[in-house]
Structure 1
Amino acid sequence: MSKKSKRPFRPAGKVSRLTFTDEERADPELEKPLKKAEKAADKLEKAQEKIPKKKHINKERTFDVKTGKAKVRLYFEETDKPKPPSKLSHSFKTIPQRELLNKIHKEIREGEQDNVGVEAAHKTEQGMEFGARRIHSAYRSHKLKPYRNLAKVENQTVKVEVNYLYKKSLRDNPKVSTNPISRWQQKQAIKKQYMANRYGKGAKSPHQTAKNTKTAVKKTTSTTEKITQFVVRNKKGILIALGIGAVLMFLISTISSCSIMMEGGFQSIVGTSYTSEDEDIIAVDDDYTLLERALQARIDNIETEYPGYDEYQYHLDEIGHNPFTLASYLTAKLQVYKRSEVQDELRALFDEQYSITTHEEIEVRYRTETRTDTWTDEEGNTHSDTYTVEVPYDYYILHITLKNKDISIIADSHLTGEQYEMFSVYMETQGNKSYLFEGNIYAPNMGEYTDYDIPPDALTDPAFAALIHEAEKYLGYPYVWGGSSPSTSFDCSGFVCWVLRESGVYNISRTTAQGIFNQCAIIPPGEARPGDIIFFTGTYASSGAVSHVGIYVGNGMMIHCGNPIQYASVNSTYWTQHFYAYGRLD
């Protein structure tokens, strides 16, 4: 493994920046690099401000001349929180634990066939472990984001500030700029001196940095001139030697390593790619979607299939799947598959993913009935008395429950260890065919989740501030069909229900996107405000008109459970085409 040079960050909480004289600001040659340097420094300050802070108590001892006594004052000082351990070091810590877990799972798997209860419990445990690993990874990514951003901005700042010093040195030493070798050595010397002054033990002020840079440039210029003179005097011989060396190096490297490099690169691409034809992968996913639509049609007609009930109560997970998860599962298990060859496998997987059950409940209820009693007295007069009574009767309720077990959970328990490793690789690379399911919002986002800074004035509303505080805890969490809590991750409606309930803004039980819509008052788009709910239709084959839901945060943005949980513009082409309505919960 090659070692990379490491550069320390700027001191925590501090951002030093170059300063410029009025003469430098007025120089047209320096105007462009100067502005870039100032802009980079501004970005660095903002990135530094977003690093999480912690407070600790400091002591300050003072001496009162009049009383002759010493005083100690306690005060809080705010410093940056240190960056959490790297993913690599974290992985090294967990390797022994994973090896132990794999060994335990293997031993259980060998004997579980004799006991159905043990097998079911084992599969459930493996699924929970897998979900927990995915969620923990997403949570770590979210925590590390400000540090990653600071490192990125830090590198950009170093680049533009070194470039400014280089341009300034060219202005002060015009003779050097005519020679390519001189220019390269000059820039390296400037960068070395810059890094020493900025990050070394004896870090100097910006003015001292400029002074040291100027000295380094003069030394470089003198050395370079000597080298240049030698090259000019021996130009012909040097060119012949370089030419022969280049030819020899090319022949040797071509013979010894070209075939190895090509073979290794080819195997790397093939080993992480879907091996079936694109047409078959897409057609198989369409077939699976047809099975899901048939299931949805059955749910839509459940009251015809089971007539005569007083009430039907639906407890439904959302119907749908991540197309890359299906393709990764089939590739890991079958390697290469054709549409006509996997229909039985699709049906078995579908029956494993979805389970629909019905349950009859009989409640004893009471209705009010009016009754009249008539009688004749001793004198032959007829009398009547009208009154009401509560009469018991049986009230029949049919509960319809649909469970959606994510294919990734099934993969963890249905694939061998080697197959599951390949499944994970395919999921990570999307089979090197990310173009297959473009436009499908439930296909995983290979980049980082989209973040957004809520305008401060919107956060003056306590209810909305509480809503966002809860929602942003789960940025980066993956989309999991049927998920409704941090332990399982979320689907779109599960996320919105959880945030509304846990923030204390609105007490809502777990329901679908359509169920949330049914509890809202419809709001015209022009009157939508932060904290309202936004609904979409036609994103997949849903039971009702509403198929997707998010929380509107103002300025044309929403936070929602796509894949992963992230911010998104509601004015994009996709969301505009599928927009349904805004709603408000009172």
Structure 2
Amino acid sequence: MSQKSKRPFRPAGKVSRLTFTDEERADPELEKPLKKAEKAGDKLEKAQAKIPKKKSLATERTFDAKTGKAKVRLYFEETDKPKPTSKLSHAVKTIPQKELLNKIHKEIREGEQDNVGVEAAHNTEQGIEFGERRIQSGYRSHKLKPYRNLAKAEKQTVKAEVNYLYKKSLRDNSQTLTNPISRWQQRQAIKKQYLANRYGKGAKTAHQTAKNTKTAVKNSASATEKITQLIVRNKKGILIALGIGVALMFLISTVSSCSILMEGGLQSIVGTSYTSEDEDIVAVDEDYETLERALQVRIDNIESEYPGYDEYQYHLDEIGHNPFTLASYLTAKLQVYKQSEVEDELRALFHQQYSLTTHEEVEVRYRTETRTDTWTDEDGNTHSDTYTVEVPYDYYILHITLKNKDISILATNNLTDEQNKMFAVYMETQGNKPYLFKGNIYAPNKGEYTDYDIPPDALTDPDFAALINEAEKYLGYPYVWGGSSPSTSFDCSGFVCWVLNQSGVYPMNQTTAQGIFNQCAIIPPSEARPGDIIFFTGTYASSGAVSHVGIYVGNGMMIHCGNPIQYASVNSTYWTQHFYAYGRLN
């Protein structure tokens, strides 16, 4: 006799199916999947009703509040009969019987050839046994049919109800479910939660089950959806890359390896892309620009902050950053970031990139003063002598120095080896989002540059030929503030200093554009020749007059570290407006 709480079988007529609220029934978006789920549930109940039943005696304990005594009530409980054993287990049980019959038949066969009657009787017996087995098999199949129908109906119900919950999830989460990969992932999460609810202790209504699956939907979306949304947001660029990849793979092989290569290609594209939302990437960059503008305001007001000096000398690097460098750095370090989460990270990086210092210098200088000595002689006459003297005095100078250590240089120390590798990849691919910072003057036009064929007669000068040979190695390299070598790329002065040094033309220590200017002899434009240095002013708020520098190559052309390193006409409107001087290094 079994207790109700320990029954091993399903109560008679009980099935697990979703129920729907009036609001869900009234929703036109859910009408079709809802009807299919209800239809499947009806079929499940009909299949359940056809399962053979059995009655068993059970007990129920109750408590009488008036008497304070417990009572035990006996009753018959109707439950589903268990499914008959499988065909395999049935066959296993009959193996000894079959082996005995086979042994008997073998012994009969050994002697039946001598007796036609025995052979005929034996054949008849085998035929009867075969018929009995067929009848038994048919009978057993008939007994199993209700269970097969129930299993089929339950499978269809699960499919229909999961589809309903999936459609409901699409309606409730339309912004997060945006593409086939994420939708498949969400469907799997819903199915997993649904099965847990159906066969566990979960909810039994559409509303409750949908509520339970909501957490699973969000959790599964957190990683996969970021990547899949990334693919959709950048579908134009990624589809082009995939199209090229598919074409190459088709040429390489037409066998199953293509699918492996396709998967690897997709992972490669996703793995080289920024994973944060475009809006967050742009907003974070704007926050960083806000910090830079505040720094510029402070420099502009430095004389008010430090009044009373005889002279203020400014030694300022340019204020600005490559937005792709910032995005690549943050992605390599944080993977996914939001504007509201990276304020402290931005400030820490900003204080590493920019170093603003002041230094007071006191010089002893001399000024000429006119002095007059007056005296009276013995006769009472007044005389005076006027003369000049050099008088020492303290001259106070405030040096204001701003150093800009580019983010790409900081990355080397701030990131792990693995993060540095990813940083290099993001910089190379621009996170597969080259459209993000279009129009930003600091965003590099990587890989595209203006080339120029130097006239052969200019290359007859060995110094100039060596200079150009070294300079052209770096065509296409991006502009990087503070950069002074191929490993970091260059800024304008870093490029010129490097080329002068590496070519052996002129020993030039790393310095600013103004520092290069200070070492040159100034020449008129009419006397400029290939290999001279050309200087510009006002291209940004620099401390000195000179803000940009390039190498003149003749015929109105220069090679310089613009964005990127390239040739440019010095006669263009922009460079004409900012032209400062030509210089020659001796």
- What's the TM-score, normalizing by structure 2? 0.48
Q: Report the structure number with the largest CA radius of gyration.
A: 2
| Greater RCO (CA < 8 Å, at least 6 residues apart) | 1
- What's the TM-score, normalizing by structure 1? 0.48
